[in-house]
Amino acid sequence: MKFNELLDRVNSTTGTDWVRVDNGPDLALNSAVLRNDVAISMEWGREHDTGGPWTEAWSEESFPSATTLHGIYVDLRYNGVTVKTDLVVGVDGDRAYLPTGISITEGRRIVGQRVHPSQVVLARIVHELTSSESADFGWYCTTANIKVTGG
């Protein structure tokens, strides 16, 4: 399978097209496989940087009751080999996972993110697999001022 074919295939899925996998003793990582093609899988939960939370102007303004961001990596795998890694951020007390991209700034303040459509895919699936508020992915992106550009 070619890389773009893989991305197109994953992009056309939702959280219900994936099956969560029990990782046994390694509960820090989460895994899922695509229901109709187990050669396609993903793993998430590996901490960004030191794993410590941080804040930015957009998180403070968008989610005032839970301003900190928590970064994790999401690995898209094909036949067990990582072919794409994205950084996503947990927002609003990890109620949602959103893509990261190029900062949108006003002066020295970061007020949002500009992302490519391919950066949205893995974040959306992780959000749908982990959040009880999965129907609100679009609302979270809008609230966090995430702008999808390119195509």
> Judging by beta carbons within 10 Å of its beta carbon (0-12, 13-18, 19+), is residue 99 exposed, middle or buried?
buried
Helix/strand/coil for 24: coil
Q: How confident is the model at residue 80 (pLDDT cuts 50, 70, 90)?
A: very high
Taking residues 63-82, what's their average pLDDT? 88
pLDDT at residue 102, rounded to an integer: 87
pLDDT at 28 over 70: no
What per-residue confidence (pLDDT) applies to 55? 75
Number of domains in the chain: 1
The candidate with the shortest Cα–Cα distance to 84, out of 119, 33, 35, is 119
pLDDT of residue 115: 92
Question: Per-residue confidence at 91, pLDDT binned at 50, 70, 90?
Answer: confident
- The reported pLDDT for the residue numbered 151 is 62
Q: What is the pTM of this model?
A: 0.85
19/35 Cα distance (integer angstroms): 6
Domain membership of residue 45 as a residue range? 3-148
| Of residues 130 and 34, more confidently modeled | 34
* Higher per-residue confidence, 12 vs 49: 12
